[in-house]
């Protein structure tokens, strides 16, 4: 399941649901609102594009890394410090595949999926700059 949503998610349940025939390793990435002098984080997505982009990344990762399952929840809206922003659950036969798949997916999301974050700071608000000056790949 791949969703962009405001609600939080039960990661334990996602892991249980990810297990299937042949699964020997699951790697979970959980991105969390870090307390860098911020009060809250506000997330915005171009959902009609972000969702198919996520799906494209997932099908590429599945093929390249031989993954058995991928589930992604990317949250939007206002999130407090410590809340989950992004949860990626990757299942594979072996750990090498699961780690590589997980890393491939998070890097692809950071590089190219149209989602933005604004830090609601004690000293004012600040849009988080993209990791790549050109934010390339959004329309791959």
Contact 112, 136 (CB under 8 A): yes
Instruction: Please state the closest distance from residue 126 (CB atom) to its own copies, in A.
Output: 16
How buried is 58 (Cβ within 10 angstroms: 0-12 exposed, 13-18 middle, 19+ buried)?
Answer: buried
Q: Are 53 and 136 in contact (CB under 8 A)?
A: no
Place of tokens 């249980």: 16
* E strand or H helix that includes residue 113: none
The nearest distance, CB 48 to its own copies, in angstroms, is: 27
The residue among 50 and 105 lying less far from its own copies, judged by its C-beta, is: 105
- The answer to whether the beta carbons of residues 107 and 46 sit under 8 Å apart is no
Only segment of 7-15, 45-53, 56-64, 119-127 that touches its own copies (CB under 8 A): 7-15
On the CB side of 48, CA atoms within 13 Å amount to 0
What does the DSSP 8-state code read for residue 87?
E
The entry of another protein, its own copies, none that residue 135 binds, CB within 5 to 8 Å by partner kind: another protein
For its own copies, the binding residue among 32, 49, 51, 138 (CB under 8 A) is: 32
Q: Counting contacts by CB under 8 A, is residue 36 touching another protein?
A: no
| Contacting positions for another protein (CB under 8 A) | 31, 43-46, 48-50, 52, 74, 85-86, 106, 109-118, 127-135, 138-140
In the complex, which residues of this chain contact its own copies (CB under 8 A)?
10-13, 15, 19, 21-35, 82, 93, 95, 98-99, 102-103, 106
């Amino acid at each position: 399941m791949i969703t962009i949503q405001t609600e939080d998610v039960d990661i334990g349940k996602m892991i249980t649901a990810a297990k299937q025939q042949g699964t020997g390793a699951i790697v979970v990435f959980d991105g969390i609102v870090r307390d860098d002098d911020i009060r809250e984080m506000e997330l915005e997505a171009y959902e009609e594009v972000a969702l198919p982009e996520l799906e494209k990344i997932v099908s590429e990762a599945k093929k390249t890394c031989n993954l058995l399952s991928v589930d992604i929840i990317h949250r939007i809206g206002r999130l407090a410090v410590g809340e989950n922003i992004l949860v990626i659950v990757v299942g594979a036969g072996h750990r090498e595949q699961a780690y590589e798949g997980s890393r491939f997916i998070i890097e692809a999301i950071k590089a190219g999926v149209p989602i933005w974050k604004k830090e609601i700071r004690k000293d004012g608000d600040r849009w988080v700059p993209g990791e790549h000056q050109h934010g390339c790949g959004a329309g791959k």
